[in-house]
Structure 1
Amino acid sequence: MVAQLLAELRGNPFTLAGATIVVGLTAVAVVGPLLVPYDPTAQDLANRLHPPSLAHPLGTDQLGRDVLTRLVYGARISLGIALLVTAIRVAIGTAIGIVSGYAGGWVDELLMRLVDVQLAFPGLVLALVVAGILGPSLRNVMIALAVVGWATYARVVRGTVLSVKEREYVDASRLLGTPPRRIATRHLLPKVANPVIVLATLNLGTVVLATAGLSFIGLGAQPPTPEWGTMLAGGRDHLRRAWWIVNAPGIAIMLTVLGFNLLGDGLRDMLDPRQQSRLEEV
C-alpha cells in the first residue's frame, strides 16, 4: 500500500500537494510549540497591533500577543480535535454499520432509521444545538461534532457489509460455526477499511472548519485559548487596522481544509474509486 501511495503521489500533483500540506501542518503542530519563543497567552499591551516584523513575523494582536505563536499552538489544538472527533465518528459509525449490515432484519431497520433521523438534520446546525445545550467549551464542541457525524460512516460501512457478507468465504465461516464477532473482525473490517479511510481523510478538514466556526461564534474555545476560530473572532474588530490578525488563522484554516480534501481525493482514487459518488462531507 505504501508503494502504491508513493506512486499515486508521483503521478498526481494535487495529491502530492495535499500530502505536503498535511505533513507540514502535522509537523507544525507537533514540533512548532517547542520552537516559538513566546507564550501564546502572555499579553504585552505596549506592543499591541504591531505589524509583521523580525521580532513578530506575523505581527501582534489586540493584546500584544505574538500571532505566529498563537497560530502554531492553534494548529495543535485544531488538528488534535479533528483527529479525536474523527476517530470517535469512525468507531461509532463502523460498529453500527457492521452490526446493521450483518444482522439484517429488524436490527438493520431500527439502526438505519436512527441513521436517517440523524442525516435529516444539517450537521452543523445540529452541532450548534448540541453545543448550545452543553455550553461553550472545546470539550463540548468535540462531543457535539462527534455526535452528529457518525451516520455517514454507518451508511457507507453498511453498504459494503451487505455485499461482502454474501460471498462464499463468509458463508463458509458461518457454516463452520465461526462466531459473528470473529467474522466481523476477520472478513468484514478489512473490506470496509478503505472507504472509511477515505471518508475520514475528507472529514478531517471539515471538522477543523466546523470547530473554528463554533469557536468563532463563542460556542467553542474561550479566550485566551489560542484556537484559530477564537483568533478570527478576536481580530474581526481590527480588520482594517490590523489585517494580519485574521488573515493568519484564516489562511491556516483554508490550507488545512484544502490539504485534507486533496489528499482525500487522491486516496479515494487509489483505494476505492467506486465510492466517489457516495462519500459525503459532514
Structure 2
Amino acid sequence: MNEKKWLHLLKTNKQYWFPIIFLSVLSLLALLAPILPIDPNSTDVTQMSSPPSMSHIFGTDEVGRDYFIRVIYGGRISLLVGILAMLASTLIGTIVGIVSGYFGGWIDSLFMRLVDILSSIPWLVLVIVLSVLLKPGLVTIILVIGCFSWMNIARLIRAETLSVRQREYVVYAKFIGEKHEKIIMKHIFPAVLPTLIVAATGSISSAIMTESALSFLGVGIQPPTASWGSLLQNAQASLQNAPYMAILPGLFIIITVYSFNGLGNYLRELTSVEG
C-alpha cells in the first residue's frame, strides 16, 4: 500500500483521526489493563457509589470497586468478543461467498437459499434462544454471534466473486487447467480482500452491540467477568444515586461502534483510492 495515499486521505479527511486515535488508545488500555496497579475486584465499603473524583476518575460502583478499571476490563471482553466473532463470521462468510460465486450452479443455489433462510429469521432472537440453550459464557457468545452473523458478508463476497471470475486472467487460468484451489487463492481471494476488510470492520461493531445487548438481558457474559453490556445491566439498580455507572459504559459502546464504522469508511475510501 502506498504510504502517501493513506496519509493524504487522513490529511484531507480529518474526521478519520478520531476513530483511529480512540481505537488505538482503547486497544492499548485493554492490552495493558492487567499490569495497571488497580484491582478490578478490590472492594472498599467506605467508597461505595462514590462519584468521579481525583482518586477514582470514573467513580466507584455499588461495592466500592474502581469503575475506571471495571470499564477498561469490560472493554477487553467486548473487544475480544467483537474481534473473535468477526473472525468467525468473516471466515464462514468468505468461504460460502467465494465457493458460491466461483462454482455457481446448484452449489450457488444451495448456499444462497441457506443464506435467505437464516436472514429471514430475526437473528438477535435466534442468538438469544441459542444463548439460553447453551451454557452462557464468553466462548458461547463468540460462537453464537460468529456463526449467525456471516450472511451479509457471504452476499458481498459472492457478488465480488461473480465479477472477478469473468476477468480475463481468471478465464485464462481455467483454460490452461489450473486447479480451482490455486485460482481461488491466487486470483479470487486477493481481488475480494478489500471488500472483505471493509465488511470485517463493520461486523466488529455489530458483534459488540450484540454482545452488549445479550449481556444486558442477562444471557451473555456472566459475573464475575465484566463487559460493557453486563456493566449496563448492573447499573440499573443504581440509576438514581449513581447515573455515571450507566452513562460511562453506554458512551464507550456508542463511541467504539462509531469509531469502527468510521474506520470502515476510511478503509472503503482507501481501497477505492488504491483501486
Q: Which residue of 2 aligns with 1:29?
A: 30
Give, in angstroms, the shift of residue 136 of structure 1. 2.1
The letter for the 1-side match of 2:84 is: L
The answer on whether the counterparts of 1:40 and 1:226 sit within 8 Å (CA) in structure 2 is no
Distance 2:199 2:163 in 1: 19
* RMSD (Å) for aligned C-alpha atoms: 1.5
The answer on whether the counterparts of 1:41 and 1:225 sit within 8 Å (CA) in structure 2 is no
Q: Which residue of 1 aligns with 2:258?
A: 258
Distance 1:2 1:23 in 2: 21
Contiguous gaps of at least 5 residues in structure 1: 274-282
Give, in angstroms, the shift of residue 67 of structure 1. 0.3
Q: Which residue of 2 aligns with 1:59?
A: 59
Distance 2:272 2:159 in 1: 14
When normalised by structure 2's length, the TM-score is 0.94
- Which deviations, in whole Å up to 9, do the C-alpha atoms of 1:172-224 show, x marking residues without a partner? 11122111001000000011111111111122112111111111111111122
Please list, as runs of the form range in 1=range in 2, the aligned pairs for 1:1-282 lying within 5 A after superposition: 1=1, 3=3, 4-35=5-36, 37-272=37-272
- Residue aligned with 2:234, SS: helix
The letter for the 1-side match of 2:150 is: W
The letter for the 2-side match of 1:255 is: I
Runs of 4+ in 1 over 6 A off after TM superposition: none
Distance 2:46 2:136 in 1: 31
- Which deviations, in whole Å up to 9, do the C-alpha atoms of 1:76-98 show, x marking residues without a partner? 11111111000111111101111
Give, in angstroms, the shift of residue 251 of structure 1. 1.1
Give, in angstroms, the shift of residue 135 of structure 1. 3.4
Aligned sequence identity (%): 38
The answer on whether the counterparts of 2:228 and 2:249 sit within 8 Å (CA) in structure 1 is yes
The answer on whether the counterparts of 1:93 and 1:154 sit within 8 Å (CA) in structure 2 is yes
The answer on whether the counterparts of 2:81 and 2:141 sit within 8 Å (CA) in structure 1 is no
Give, in angstroms, the shift of residue 42 of structure 1. 2.6
- Residue aligned with 1:185, SS: helix
Distance 1:123 1:5 in 2: 36
The letter for the 1-side match of 2:9 is: E
Give, in angstroms, the shift of residue 272 of structure 1. 4.2
Q: Which residue of 2 aligns with 1:279?
A: none
The answer on whether the counterparts of 1:15 and 1:262 sit within 8 Å (CA) in structure 2 is yes
The letter for the 1-side match of 2:116 is: D
When normalised by structure 1's length, the TM-score is 0.92
The answer on whether the counterparts of 1:195 and 1:272 sit within 8 Å (CA) in structure 2 is no
Distance 2:217 2:22 in 1: 27
The answer on whether the counterparts of 2:92 and 2:147 sit within 8 Å (CA) in structure 1 is no
